[in-house]
Structure 1
């Protein structure tokens, strides 16, 4: 059975939002890696950049499977699957923010 087009389009918008989130995380990782030498210690700058780019790859890699699983659930009128990586992204971005805040305060 075909789901209501509004649900299909909402699912597609969510898919595109995952991709734009991945792009933003990737841009953040590249920006952190490009911070001048004296601002953060090199290992911390590299760690923050790696965390952000890794989260970016996860978001991009999981966007389509999540879209497909939700679309299948909508067609079968089954319960929607839970967001498997929501906690990873929430805690990952929070960890980057806290580490960056500590480094900024230590540099001041």
Structure 2
């Protein structure tokens, strides 16, 4: 049977830094959501039917992932700090980077096609 180390209140500066990181993820999600709505409402249709909607939905899906993953990430980091464990790695950075690169490449192709 494995016992958990006793929890300790982390230095408030680290707790606040973790909270700022969480809020940065939420701001990123809100920016992606706004981008998705803006693409759908203000970008003229591309030569490929449905491409504008696809690009908008890609931004909105990425926003949903970032928003949904940000709270569990905050909790895992907070818990690690409380028990003195190493901070957990995050796949969010890889997914967000890949998603933004994919959306940028898709937008570039759509703009260049017509």
TM-score, with structure 1 as normaliser: 0.91
Calculate the aligned-residue CA RMSD, in Å: 1.2
Whole-angstrom distance in 1 between the partners of 2:71 and 2:38: 26
| Post-superposition offset of 1:3 | 0.8
User: Unpaired runs of 5+ in structure 2?
Assistant: 1-7
Whole-angstrom distance in 2 between the partners of 1:74 and 1:103: 45
- How many residue pairs get aligned? The number is 106
TM-score, with structure 2 as normaliser: 0.87
Which of the two has greater helix per residue? 1
Please identify the structure whose Cα radius of gyration is greater: 2
User: Unpaired runs of 5+ in structure 1?
Assistant: none
Q: Which contiguous aligned blocks of 4+ residues in structure 1 show a shift greater than 6 angstroms?
A: none
Mapping of 1:50-65 within 5 angstroms?
A: 50-65=57-72
1:5 to 7, 12, 29: 12
